[in-house]
Amino acid sequence: MRLHAYDLRRRLYIIFRGEEGLDYGGVAREWFFMLSHEVLNPMYCLFEYASKNNYSLQINAASSVNPDHIQYFKFVGRFIAMALYHGKFIYSGFTMPFYKRMLNKSLTLKDLENIDPEFYNSLEWTKENNVEECGLDMYFTADFEILGKIESHDLKEGGADIPVTEENKEEYIHLMTQWRFSRGIEEQMKAFLEGFNEVVPLQWLQYFDERELELMLCGMQEFDIEDWQRNTIYRHYTRDSKQVVWFWRAVKEMDNEKRSRLLQFVTGTCRLPVGGFSELMGSNGAQKFCIEKVGKDTWLPRSHTCFNRIDLPPYKNYEQLWEKVSFAIEETEGFGQE
């Protein structure tokens, strides 16, 4: 990794010490997969799982326990860029907000739901309720505990002396959201992006969205549709309802990329646990894929990623279901997901 960036973009030829073999792509593929398994391992404190039920990775704010952590993040950035450039997959993927930061896209309150449900619900409550009538003593400041030490941060200049009111709470929610995504990880993220940009200029990524970036880095899985069906529950539908029959017909007719997008739309990630659909996790633990009858036939499907649930309106025919589902998973961002 001490090589110049252009050297890292040259054709790879990987040799494992003590092993003989010609690298026609398979050895390099194995090397990227094995090395990514190590450098992204949460045990090393550089990265951590987003939450107890979300195994996507995010930067660990406590990474400073390793005095050389900034150098490691730059190394990881270069390594991930190499994997992307050479078309090799990594062992584990990152959170959607992490990919959005790589793409320099703005982060919203909705992006918090999958990685910190409690924080998200707290800000949602603030948004929906009158903070003055509730008598809450809130200011433009936030506290964060890291390595046993509580640090206070002003969300804006003089924030500790600025109370939150109905008039300014939208600004408070926005600033608190941005702080939550950056708290304790600004230097690490900067080093990661710096390393990545040396090998693959970040402007090259602007043609993709965060879902496509995840697919390029993590690849697609082969889906066992029978396992998917066995581990799906229904609300206000039965497995014999015509809309459910049409839904599974659509899934079978999709190519693997579209199935990945459907899974991503409903669960928040295109990756499955090792045990398949039976081990899908939700906000309250094990949570099977769910299809619920909701809405009118003119509506698009909606997803609730914390509960692995898709709201499937009672469409009148297969063609209408195919059109609405396809549009939802390919075109919607934000309003089609909860």
DSSP-based three-state secondary structure for 303: strand
Alpha carbon 85 to its chain centroid, in Å, reads 21
For the record, the structure tokens of 275 come out as 């045990």
Identify whether 45 is a catalytic site residue.
Answer: no
Helix spans in 254-294 (H): 256-267
DSSP-based three-state secondary structure for 242: helix
DSSP-based three-state secondary structure for 211: helix
Helix spans in the chain (H): 5-8, 26-39, 69-85, 96-102, 117-128, 169-182, 186-199, 210-218, 225-230, 242-253, 256-267, 318-331
Which of 319, 79, 278, 311 is closest to 195 using CA atoms? 79
What's the CA gap between 329 and 301, in Å, rounded? 9
What's the CA gap between 317 and 205, in Å, rounded? 39
DSSP state of 116: -
Query: Which residue type does 245 have?
Result: V
What's the CA gap between 154 and 142, in Å, rounded? 6
Q: Give the pairing of strands 285-286 and 281-282.
A: antiparallel
> Active-site residues: which are they?
306
